[in-house]
Amino acid sequence: MRVVVELSGEHPTLPRAEVLAAFEAEGVIVRELAVGSSVLRADASGPVPRSLARLGLAHVVCEELVRGSFEDVRAWARDQDLAGRRFRVRARGIGIDLDIRGVEGALGSDLGRTGTVDLAHPQVDLRLLAADEFVLGRVFHRVERSALEKRKVARRPFSRPISLHPKLARALVNLSRVPTAGVLLDPFCGTGGILLEASRIGLRSVGADAAASMVRGARASLRSLDEQADLVLADAGRGPWRPGRVVGIATDPPYGRAATPRREPREDLYDRAFGALAEVLPRGGHLAVGLPSEDAVEIVGRHLELLERHALRVHKSLTRIFCAFRRG
Ligand SMILES: C[S@@+](CC[C@H](N)C(=O)[O-])C[C@H]1O[C@@H](n2cnc3c(N)ncnc32)[C@H](O)[C@@H]1O
């Protein structure tokens, strides 16, 4: 299946890394890959729609139907038989000033020979992307961006300013490469934002926090949104996790001493907790984590192999390095 993913422009590398990790999570085999700044195209086999339905840092996902000049696309459109089905064509120029109405109108009249235009409820939803060439695709997934916004922590029953935006929490979930129905652990779960996104895309969420108020609050938030997680009050380095159960870890550890129960220095906590968490992972399992500094990356790297890193600004003065590590 040839697919076209419109990446969100929120970061130069994280959106494409999320797609590749989601493919890997679901066991999709990628034969060909072309990545631009805002579009990723792939020829892939396996559960491609399921893997792409996981994304947070993308907009529209299409199956590619035809690619080439605008005339090639129009010739293809004239050859189709829509057998009266209702269709819609939407166009977007990427880095070019496209006459959107003109191209949509021309394609609409080609396809209108056998189908009926329906902008509100089409049976066949088509998208034309124009960059250095034209790509026409059939839309099969739109990322629920407004639903992600609605799940921001301030709108949940239990709110603390520590929580990541849901789209970043979703990206961490994907970087952990846990497949559908696999167990994802967040050992520093806070308000439960990562567990919420994991549960949302069909993973089994397991979480812990050293603060009882966080465990209670996360439980209430998840319940209110009809999502599930097993939560315990535990230190991240001494959790009661059965070896062999957890497939991957996605987490956002405390950045300062004040957020740890006994004001343990950050370096000590990270070394101790990530050393123990590395043992919870199966061989080949992944840890996706947002880290506050290069030192922190080095500490986690003592226990696991660093695969990728993406520095991003979480809010004005706060930078995080999103990393994926693997247990060798
Ligand atoms: C940055 S917050 C996590 C935010 C979370 N991603 C969310 O969505 O709310 C870090 C969390 O780690 C917890 N914590 C601190 N020290 C801990 C430890 N030793 N073991 C487990 N949790 C700990 C804090 O109580 C805090 O809730």
- Ligand 1 centroid–CA 207 distance in Å is 10
Average confidence (pLDDT) over 27-52? 96
pLDDT of 153: 78
Taking the C-alpha atoms of residue 113 and residue 108, their distance in angstroms, rounded to an integer, is 9
Residue 270, number of CB atoms within 10 A of its CB: 26
The CATH class of the 149-326 domain is alpha beta
Tell me the CATH number for domain 2-143. 3.30.2130.30
pLDDT of 163: 84
- Ligand 1 centroid–CA 11 distance in Å is 25
pLDDT of 20: 98
CA-wise closest residue to 125 among 113, 142, 110: 142
How do beta strands 86-93 and 116-117 pair? parallel
- Ligand 1 centroid–CA 324 distance in Å is 19
Tens of pLDDT, residue by residue over 96-115, are 899 999 999 999 999 999 99
Tens of pLDDT, residue by residue over 66-88, are 999 999 999 999 999 999 999 99
What pairs with residue 233 in β-bridges? 209
- Ligand 1 centroid–CA 229 distance in Å is 16
- Cα 170 to its chain centre, rounded Å, is 5
Average confidence (pLDDT) over 28-35? 96
Residue whose Cα lies nearest atom 7 of ligand 1: it is: 163
Share of the chain above pLDDT 70, in %: 99
Average confidence (pLDDT) over 184-211? 97
Closest ligand 1 atom, residue 193 Cα = 8
pLDDT of 230: 96
pLDDT at 175 over 80: yes
Taking the C-alpha atoms of residue 152 and residue 250, their distance in angstroms, rounded to an integer, is 18
Q: How confident is the model at residue 258 (pLDDT cuts 50, 70, 90)?
A: low
- The full set of domain ranges for the chain reads 2-143, 149-326
- Ligand 1 centroid–CA 7 distance in Å is 30
Q: How many residues make up the chain in this entry? A: 328
Average pLDDT in the chain: 94
Place of tokens 């439980």: 219
Closest ligand 1 atom, residue 211 Cα = 25
Average confidence (pLDDT) over 115-126? 97
Place of tokens 């009809």: 226
**Residues in CB range of 10: below 8 A, 6 or more apart:** 57, 167
Residue whose Cα lies nearest atom 19 of ligand 1: it is: 235
Our answer on whether the CB atom of 260 is closer than 6 Å to any ligand 1 atom is yes
CA-wise closest residue to 134 among 196, 88, 77: 77
Share of the chain above pLDDT 90, in %: 85
Q: How confident is the model at residue 198 (pLDDT cuts 50, 70, 90)?
A: very high
Our answer on whether the CB atom of 306 is closer than 6 Å to any ligand 1 atom is no
The answer to whether the beta carbons of residues 82 and 114 sit under 8 Å apart is yes
CA angle 19, 21, 23 (to 5 degrees): 70
What pairs with residue 30 in β-bridges? 44
- Residue of 206, 209, 222 with the most ligand 1 atoms within 8 Å of its CB, for mutation: 209
Our answer on whether the CB atom of 188 is closer than 6 Å to any ligand 1 atom is yes
Residue 171, exposed/middle/buried by CB under 10 A (0-12, 13-18, 19+)?
buried
Our answer on whether the CB atom of 229 is closer than 6 Å to any ligand 1 atom is no
Taking the C-alpha atoms of residue 110 and residue 26, their distance in angstroms, rounded to an integer, is 38
Both structure tokens of 165: 């935006």
Q: Which of 156-160, 177-181, 242-246 has the highest mean pLDDT?
A: 177-181
Q: How confident is the model at residue 162 (pLDDT cuts 50, 70, 90)?
A: confident
The answer to whether the beta carbons of residues 315 and 165 sit under 8 Å apart is no
Average confidence (pLDDT) over 232-261? 90
E-strand ranges in 131-172 read 134-142
pLDDT at 268 over 90: yes
